[in-house]
Amino acid sequence: MLTTSGAVYTMGCGEQGQLGRLAQRSASRDARQGFSALLVPSKVTLKLGASRIWAGYHATFALDANSDKMFAWGLNNYGQLGITGEKRRRALYSPMECDAFTAWRDSKGDSVTWRSVAAGQHHSLALDGAGSVLALGRCEYGRLGLPQPEDAQHLTIIPALQHRNVVSISASTSSSFAVTAEGEVYSWGMGSEGQLGTGACADAAEPVAVPHGDRPTIQVSAGGQHTVLLVEDTSSTKEPSPAPDQEMAEQTTEDENTEEEEVKAKRPKNEQEGEISSTSSAHASEVAEESKPQRARGVKPKSRNKRR
């Protein structure tokens, strides 16, 4: 969780250091303090506040709000956190600067910004502000999308996605996905369950275009062995909405009618019958009154001679 002030809070499983706030001896479920330290959201110690956060399979990334430096913690057995050299460990239980991300920015200049990070089980993807996708970590099943079948210890651009203007990325356990500004979807990595959407249950060593008709894709989200696409609906046409004043007037009339019906329904049956009877009697009286002959003004009625 990221607060408005830039503080980061974590909760849940922390056995691989992914919470970033517990020592290794305290991160296990069998620790003396029990589950309380794992289940209750607690603050991660960061020198500066964060502007963006991303959670992966066994890892967490946080972008520094002031320097745009990337920090990470969690499982790093294949270097998937971008933390190399002497600081590299199998698991990191507190935030550390990702030197691989820093080295990439230094090689390209300070103009490089990080738009998104997607973390799988043993690999990570990064999307920069220019739309380039970079991969890091384990290469098995082709999850990195790189031509060479070897693990990547440093951020490496995926050649097949160059100049594609990628706007979003997603990573599952061993698969990867990217969506372009034109609504195209690319997938690569493990595809044994058909999760790549290519029409075949096979792995893909490099990005492959996913066929999805003429519906542009807005977003992709990858699960363990399945994938979800959010696409634009181009088939239906929406009717124009009524003017605000007209819509409000119609809604008010409808509400009044509904309220009147509800009041009548709640009244006792004998009251409803009495109301109907009185209404009918009043109506009959009005009809009888109208049927009587009307006297002309100023004319006296003729008197009848009584029989003697």
200 with 92, same domain: the answer is: no
* Count of beta carbons in the 10 Å neighbourhood of residue 161: 23
In a domain, 287, yes or no: no
Rounded distance, CA 14 to CA 93, Å?
A: 8
**23-27, 104-108, 121-125, 198-202: the lowest-pLDDT one:** 23-27
Q: With residue 251 as reference, give the H or E element that holds it.
A: helix 244-266
Domain boundary among 112, 128, 161: 112
- Tell whether 306 is covered by a domain: no
140, 242: one domain: yes
Contacts of 280 (CB under 8 A, 6+ apart): none
CA 172, CA 115: separation in Å to the nearest integer? 18
Same domain, 124 and 232: yes
Return d(Cα 61, Cα 48) in angstroms, integer.
Answer: 14
Residues 104 and 124 in one domain: no
The last residue of one of the domains, among 258, 278, 298, is 258
CATH code at 118? Answer: 2.130.10.30
267 falls within a domain: no
- Give a yes or no: residue 264 inside a domain: no
> Distance between CA 73 and CA 60 in Å, rounded?
6
Distance CA 63, CA 49 (A): 9
Q: How many domains does the chain have?
A: 2
Same-domain status, 34 and 98: yes
How far apart, in Å, are the Cα atoms of 52 and each of 55, 69, 132, 189, 284? 11, 11, 19, 26, 78
Are 60 and 169 contained in the same domain? no
Interatomic CA distance for residues 138 and 56, integer angstroms: 15
| pLDDT at position 296 | 47
The answer on pLDDT for 107 being more than 70 is: yes
Same domain, 140 and 129: yes
Q: Are residues 119 and 241 in the same domain?
A: yes
For residue 275, being part of any structural domain is answered with no
Indicate whether this model's pTM tops 0.75.
no
* Residue 136 placed within a domain: yes
Q: In this structure, is residue 193 part of a structural domain?
A: yes
Are 44 and 8 in the same domain? yes
Of residues 91, 10, 17, the one with CA closest to residue 54: 10
pLDDT digits (tens, 9 = 90+) for 7-65: 999 999 888 999 999 887 777 666 656 667 888 899 999 888 999 999 999 999 999 99
Arithmetic mean of pLDDT, 254-268: 62
Rounded-to-10 torsion of CA 56, 58, 64, 70: -90
Tell me if residue 263 falls in helix, strand or coil.
Answer: helix
Residues 153 and 252 both lie in one domain:
yes
Is the same domain home to 98 and 120? no
**pLDDT > 70: what percent of the chain?**
73
Per-residue pLDDT tens over the stretch 76-103: 999 999 998 877 788 999 999 999 999 9
Domain membership of residue 59 as a residue range = 1-112
**Confidence band of 185 (pLDDT split at 50, 70, 90):** very high
pLDDT digits (tens, 9 = 90+) for 148-182: 999 999 999 999 999 999 999 999 999 999 999 99
Q: Which of 77, 112, 147 is the last residue of a domain?
A: 112
303 part of a folded domain:
no
Domain match, 104 and 172 both: no
